[in-house]
Structure 1
């Protein structure tokens, strides 16, 4: 690694960033073509700051992407990073002329839109006011003022008059919230996305809602809810509807990984592998389909290997990166638990061969799972055995039979007491106050003797 590049990633590491040294399996140019809008720059910039092999290429692509827009701050950040990582690259020199010209155009355009909006407000034309706020919101969003853009979009609400306008406002706010990674606001705005159009429009809107809901639930670590949201996405929904946030490949990866982490074998086989709709997404990412199939077929170590091979790709995803360690840990735990179900004890060497690596033996992971209650087992360090702890089926049967017998005995005694009360010609009267048998008058000690004599007779 060149000295400037080493210095750049040392700086990224000091800032708490994720450093990925392995090359990803995707092609950078093809990858970024799946998106449009600000997310293209955000994804390129994340890759540049995390991937050692793609750093320079991603930074140069990010600079080119920034110059297509009007956000000068994006351009400054990308060029500054390239100056550290590759100071002799021609793109590492600030294009001051472009910066000055763009800043000037941005100021002039914002002033023009503000004057127009003021005129619309003076004329009290609701439709023009709504469009004026929308234009200002789009301008602020394109220049990087996401907070101001969200405020402008929110100001459109008093002037909307049709269901389509309600949906447009909610989509604007969802997009800005996704760029800010404000997951709670995404879910709040999604609640305002209602139907009211043709069946085709409702299907498209439903797909959009499920995608943004899934991403928001992923951000909040509600992995199972996110998996079911991605499962409900219709593959016939055009990618242009949601590619400002995600791509069809992302839906397959997010849905498949989260399903592996949270769902049992039967649900995986029926809902994901057996789903004709989600299967279309899985065709885009064959390794996800292969990993789910391996898990369903009981080949757990191969399942883990299939997703581990793509760890570098997942660590370079803007939404998935923070959750990769936790999701992978959940998948490994599930695989280990399922692997141990048929056995009462397993050699630790066998467990290491199946789930361990030379650098990371499986013993520490097993200890952590036992402490957390995920795995009911104990480790024999002398004989190097993992012994599963499970209740004896015979003990379970005996306990169940004893409980049934005791319940039958209580019911029989209650019935005998009622028969004794009836044969002793005793009257049951309601009680006025609370007591151990509220609503029933308990017999006296003398009456109890008569009852016992009646029962014995």
Structure 2
């Protein structure tokens, strides 16, 4: 069909450049999926799906066109139109609405000029609250039209005029939201940290969920999967999803937290902090297959766990925050499964590992070689008999090595103490300032007492030296 040919032509550049293209039919329902979100993330997710998923391409791009016209961001409309004119040139949405573009651009310029004039007047009158509100209004407008850097600067100028805790929280939330849209993970973490410091009891619950989810997404973005899992697992499930719907949904929290926890935590941590966590268990109700995968891992059914995750891979590749991390996270989970499978045995045939973990017609041996080289698998491969043999450390050798290390440390500390004593005896010591509240030594006044930086020696006024080590 012509439509399918045009869609394939649309994805050809991404395929040739090694981009992620999902060709299988995902399980998610586009309409139900996008209803979980509000604000600018709706367009971001729709256009992302349109550029990534072949079966949902046209529907997602058409929805993105509609969504882009709900806001005065002309650049977003141009981006979605530029995609759909290639992917589905016969659709009505493929005809560019020049009248709407011109009208919206004129309105944006007039609104920007009006807000800047108002803000200038507030600055002339030196009314701090009006200046703060003027910067906030200007920042919201600039954010709505897609000028994220200018919006960030406007929100940042609010800080010098804040006067209450609520103002600090609002300012930090604006900055964190813009940072997420710009994929500036460090600034998002910084601004969320300021919310955590000043939030009060009345706003603690909704802000707790918001800060934990934003922190988790930012930590996920910079690849700190263990810390990201800790943040997602601490999110309060009793907070209404509307409080953070402009960023993520409860389904997203379950997926992000479940996958990062499965990739970084041991069995005990998964059981206590994930499956038995009442708050996170409520999130897992939205994604039961994640809960099932974690349960299967804890029960030692590794191939079933990996099978569930592989069946959900197309859906996860359509997530704007998760896509680029899926290969790494899945690789970590798979390595953990192989290691845990091998733990009870001293020797395992490679054919049994192939049956449990390899794809049909392939062997897991090259993967085992890489894991051994990286140090994640303590074993060696018997190429003749096709066995994976565990490398067990010799307890006696380990004890002797530990004893030698303790002796080396003791010798080093003794030499440093003797060197210090010799320096003091030779009068080569640089005496520092007296420290208030020094410990009292019987027979010495406080004026005659001085500790060195290691608190090993006592220097008296007469030059006597006593070891306190």
Partners of 1:173 and 1:359 in 2: CA distance? 52
Given that 2:50 and 2:61 are in contact with CA atoms closer than 8 Å, whether structure 1 keeps it comes out as yes
Partners of 2:213 and 2:63 in 1: CA distance? 27
Given that 1:195 and 1:205 are in contact with CA atoms closer than 8 Å, whether structure 2 keeps it comes out as no
- How far 1:17 sits from its partner (Å)? 2.5
Partners of 1:105 and 1:227 in 2: CA distance? 44
For the pair 1:72 / 2:54, whether they are aligned, the reply is: no
In structure 2, the residue corresponding to 1:192 is in which secondary structure?
Answer: helix
Partners of 2:386 and 2:124 in 1: CA distance? 82
Kindly report the root-mean-square deviation, in angstroms, between the aligned alpha carbons of the 2 structures: 2.4
Quote the residue 1:138 is aligned against: 140
Given that 2:81 and 2:94 are in contact with CA atoms closer than 8 Å, whether structure 1 keeps it comes out as yes
Given that 2:196 and 2:211 are in contact with CA atoms closer than 8 Å, whether structure 1 keeps it comes out as no
Given that 2:169 and 2:199 are in contact with CA atoms closer than 8 Å, whether structure 1 keeps it comes out as no
Closer/same/farther in 2, CA of residues 116 and 78 from structure 1, 3 Å limit: same
Given that 2:176 and 2:187 are in contact with CA atoms closer than 8 Å, whether structure 1 keeps it comes out as yes
Partners of 2:346 and 2:421 in 1: CA distance? 59
Closer/same/farther in 2, CA of residues 378 and 194 from structure 1, 3 Å limit: closer
- How far 1:89 sits from its partner (Å)? 1.2
Closer/same/farther in 2, CA of residues 194 and 294 from structure 1, 3 Å limit: closer
For the pair 1:433 / 2:432, whether they are aligned, the reply is: no
Runs of 4+ that moved beyond 6 A = 401-404
For the pair 1:276 / 2:275, whether they are aligned, the reply is: no
Give the alignment's TM-score, normalised by structure 1: 0.86
Give the alignment's TM-score, normalised by structure 2: 0.84
Partners of 1:148 and 1:361 in 2: CA distance? 54
- How far 1:397 sits from its partner (Å)? 5.3
Partners of 2:57 and 2:40 in 1: CA distance? 19
Q: 1:192-203, aligned counterparts within 5 Å? A: 192-194=194-196, 199-203=201-205
- How far 1:35 sits from its partner (Å)? 0.7
For the pair 1:396 / 2:382, whether they are aligned, the reply is: no
Task: Select the structure of larger CA radius of gyration.
Answer: 1
Quote the residue 1:444 is aligned against: none
Given that 2:65 and 2:80 are in contact with CA atoms closer than 8 Å, whether structure 1 keeps it comes out as yes
Partners of 2:229 and 2:397 in 1: CA distance? 41
Quote the residue 1:55 is aligned against: 57
Partners of 1:360 and 1:51 in 2: CA distance? 28
Quote the residue 2:189 is aligned against: 187
Query: Could you list the runs of 5+ residues in structure 1 that have no partner in the other structure?
Result: 408-430, 440-457
* Residue among 265, 268, 277 paired with 2:267: 265
What number of residue pairs does the alignment pair up? 413
Deviates further, 208-217 or 170-179: 208-217
Q: 1:55-454, aligned counterparts within 5 Å? A: 55-194=57-196, 199-358=201-360, 360-391=362-393, 395-396=394-395, 400=399, 433=422
Partners of 2:74 and 2:292 in 1: CA distance? 43
Partners of 1:88 and 1:128 in 2: CA distance? 50
- How far 1:51 sits from its partner (Å)? 0.4
Closer/same/farther in 2, CA of residues 153 and 402 from structure 1, 3 Å limit: closer
Partners of 2:312 and 2:361 in 1: CA distance? 19
Deviates further, 9-18 or 342-351: 9-18
- CA offsets per residue over residues 253-312 of structure 1, 9 Å max, x none? 000000000000011001110111110001110001001000111111111111111001
- How far 1:399 sits from its partner (Å)? 6.3
Closer/same/farther in 2, CA of residues 371 and 101 from structure 1, 3 Å limit: same
In structure 2, the residue corresponding to 1:252 is in which secondary structure?
Answer: helix
